[in-house]
A and B are shown apart, each in its own frame.
Chain A
Amino acid sequence: AQTVTQSQPEMSVQEAETVTLSCTYDTSESDYYLFWYKQPPSRQMILVIRQEAYKQQNATENRFSVNFQKAAKSFSLKISDSQLGDAAMYFCAYRRGGATNKLIFGTGTLLAVQP
């Protein structure tokens, strides 16, 4: 069975600084997708970034980028120029390719941004 592990329950970063959140996953599949979702205090789940396993290039979305290491099964999220609004719980998620495509989530990392 596929699993997703986030080993950092909490992280803290100074405003305008850079922080990296870690995620590892375990799968025997070759076709899969990886996601980072943000859950602010409102509890809404907001997609931050996605990565297709078949793509070697790391995904980027403005201040958010990933470091996808397929052989190591690692998928970390880098937030540059951190802003107060980035404070939230961040979940790493895995989805196997194909029609049955449930998301498997990690336990989350709570990010605090210090002014």
Chain B
Amino acid sequence: DSGVTQTPKHLITATGQRVTLRCSPRSGDLSVYWYQQSLDQGLQFLIQYYNGEERAKGNILERFSAQQFPDLHSELNLSSLELGDSALYFCASSVASGLAEYQETQYFGPGTRLLVL
């Protein structure tokens, strides 16, 4: 158990709908990362938050957005869903405080499996 939790574990929805994925980082971790794992794209970085602020963006679609709340949990919002958005979405966290920020390891949650029908 990595200490990172994600809910829900599975999500089935229809095209055009909107869903929210939730992530709670390990206790004390300030950074949260979102990754998407799909058969055709592999594992791809979406976005990173550090202590409530967006730190880096990857291949995240405009239909997707995220935020990190004061209690450090994060939510990934996916809207106008398409069949191609079906994937496993991972959240990872790391401690990232002071100099440790440059040496921390990312620990992954169990993922949310999204199926768009």
Contacts and interface: CB of A to CB of B under 8 A. Distances in A.
A50 B110 contact: no
A100 B55 contact: yes
Nearest to A100: B56
Contacts of B58: 102
Contacts, number: 58
Interface residues of B, number: 27
A43 B33 contact: no
* Dominant secondary structure of chain B at its interface with chain A: strand
Contacts of B2: 44, 46
Contacts of A75: none
Contacts of A52: 103
A16 interface: no
A42 B90 CA distance: 13
Interface string A92-115: 000101111111110110000000
Interface of B: 2, 33, 35, 42-45, 48, 50, 55-56, 58, 88, 90, 92, 94, 101-108, 110-111, 113
